[in-house]
Amino acid sequence: MLWNSALVAIGGFFGAIARFGISNWIKQKYPSSFPLATLLVNLIGSFLLGYIIGKGWNDSWKLLFGTGFMGAFTTFSTFKLESMALYIHKQWKMFVLYLALSYILGLLLAFLGMKASSV
């Protein structure tokens, strides 16, 4: 049990650092009021998690990379916060676009990740 917690913590440590670095790089390279950084990180994470699950890795690897790394790399709370900010500021088109891209592409990429893992 302690080992499983350590695997999740180690994966989470590196996943959070990866998200922080990639998000900041995207925000500097493509400044926008649209939450592009969170969208891209979450879409990449959807594909990679689908790939990890599709590969059928053993439980230790799934805890390290699936639960730990991908759990910290992707961010549901930031997604919700940014969605609410678009809603509150009445940026309706960006709000709907952000939700649609996040959910539709997220599901599609998770599916494609699973398919890619079986090739």
Q: Which residues are annotated as a binding site for Na(+)?
A: 71, 74
Phi and psi based region of residue 56 (left: phi greater than 0; alpha: psi -120 to 50; beta: remaining) = left
State the number of CA atoms in the 13 A half-sphere of 70 facing the CB: 20
Phi, psi of 118 (to 5 degrees): -95, 0
Which amino acids are annotated as binding site, given as ranges?
71, 74
**Among residues 62, 41, 39, 38, which one has the least CA distance to residue 51?**
62
Alpha carbons 72 and 104: distance in angstroms, whole number:
21
φ, ψ dihedrals at 100, nearest 5°: -65, -45
